[in-house]
Structure 1
């Protein structure tokens, strides 16, 4: 199997996805709990649950990116060790 992205891009995507998952999860939990810094003023959203659902959707997308790029990094590592099975 040949990788679709380079090893550098795969590892960069892994790091960014992990960071985004952590940060967005914290922000989503703050909305669901009605934290005063996110839900305290008149211009803030009324329903924190709906905002949290949208944020968790983004977490799901980043989770998919993490899974895809993790597989790509695994393929690169396997190829670099000469472990790929070649049919000739």
Structure 2
């Protein structure tokens, strides 16, 4: 199987997805627990669980990116070990 995206793009997407999953998971868990830092002001949302649900959907999307881009990066590593010419 040949990679669809370039090696640099695959690695950057993998790293960004890892950071996004960690950061959004923390923010989502703060909203899910109605933490005072996220829910304290009058302009903040009233339903923290609904906000947390949408944030966790974004985490699932980033997890999909992580799997896809990680697989693409693995294909590049596998191709470079066999001595294939990379363009």
TM-score, normalisation: structure 2 = 0.92
Quote how far apart the aligned CAs of 1:43 are: 0.8
Confirm whether residue 32 of structure 1 aligns to residue 24 of structure 2: no
Separation in 1, partners of 2:31, 2:71: 32
Quote how far apart the aligned CAs of 1:2 are: 1.2
TM-score, normalisation: structure 1 = 0.91
Separation in 2, partners of 1:83, 1:70: 20
Quote how far apart the aligned CAs of 1:12 are: 0.3
Quote how far apart the aligned CAs of 1:40 are: 0.5
What secondary structure, in the 3-state scheme, does the structure 2 residue paired with 1:77 have? helix
The 5-angstrom pairing of residues 1-80 of structure 1 reads: 1-80=1-80
CA-based RMSD of the aligned residues comes to 1.3
Unaligned runs of 5+ in 1: none
Unaligned runs of 5+ in 2: none
Quote how far apart the aligned CAs of 1:60 are: 0.2
Quote how far apart the aligned CAs of 1:83 are: 7.6
Separation in 2, partners of 1:45, 1:21: 22
